[in-house]
Amino acid sequence: MDRRKSLKLIATGAVAVPAALAGCATDDNKTADKAAEPVFNLDRNPDEVKYEKELLAKGPFFNAHEMATITVLCDIIIPKDDISGSASEAGVPDFIDFIVRDMPNHQVPVQGGLRWLDLQCFKRYEKAFKDCSAAQQIELVDQIAYPEKAKPEMSQGVQFFNLMRNLTASGFYTSEIGVKDIGYVGNQPNQWNGVPPEVLAQYKLAYTEKELKECLSFDKEA
């Protein structure tokens, strides 16, 4: 699945999977009891830092099985290629785990959708989604990745995949790997060689010798 197509689909509205799907139980325990003390290297508002520390201190939301499933699905949406790494290499699964803690309204749709994937795979292949072969995983994903082609009975999966595609693209393209993938460099220092001569001539202006000496540098290699 083309990652740039995923980027275009960020604007697609995320639709919740019916709450009934979230009623399925799981036997897995949470992957960790406590998250490591977060390190904030950016200039942040004190209230933001306090809030995020409290959020991260609660530990992971998803259990090990769910995180493994998210990892597989994220890498199907944005796989590794000759331009950049995969979604999981960009830290997208952890991003999604953080987002559902920060935005609890995503918890039921994501957990419910993960269980929906497993139920579909157990019916078809007698194993969980993460344990299926790559071909089996793609076979199921292809049935929910294209809303206009999906069968009505796959509508729950379509809604879930729309949400996961949005979260995956958001996480990937705000990571260091994703930013490099789209070629964004941000504000970069450069050399300003002044107003172009033709513009100065148009307005009958010229730099003084002092301005040329102190303010401008005409380095042809810059």
Burial class for 1, CB neighbours closer than 10 Å (0-12, 13-18, 19+): middle
* pLDDT in the model for residue 38: 57
Domain regions of the chain by residue span = 3-181, 189-222
pTM of the model: 0.69
> What are the pLDDT tens digits along the chain (222 aa)?
454 444 434 433 333 333 333 334 444 444 444 445 556 556 678 888 888 888 888 889 999 999 999 999 999 999 999 889 999 999 999 999 999 999 999 999 999 999 999 999 999 999 999 999 999 999 999 999 999 999 999 999 999 999 999 999 999 999 999 988 888 877 777 777 788 889 999 999 998 888 877 776 655 554
The one-letter amino acid at 63: N
Tell me what percent of the residues of the chain surpass a pLDDT of 70: 77
In 3D space, the residue among 180, 194, 202 whose CA is nearest the CA of residue 89 turns out to be 180
* pLDDT in the model for residue 183: 83
* pLDDT in the model for residue 45: 82
In 3D space, the residue among 62, 35, 38 whose CA is nearest the CA of residue 50 turns out to be 38
**Three-state DSSP class for residue 30:** strand
Residue 113 to residue 158: CA distance in whole angstroms = 9
Q: Which alpha helices (H) appear in 11-45, and where do they start and end?
A: none
Degrees, nearest 5: CA angle 65-66-71: 100
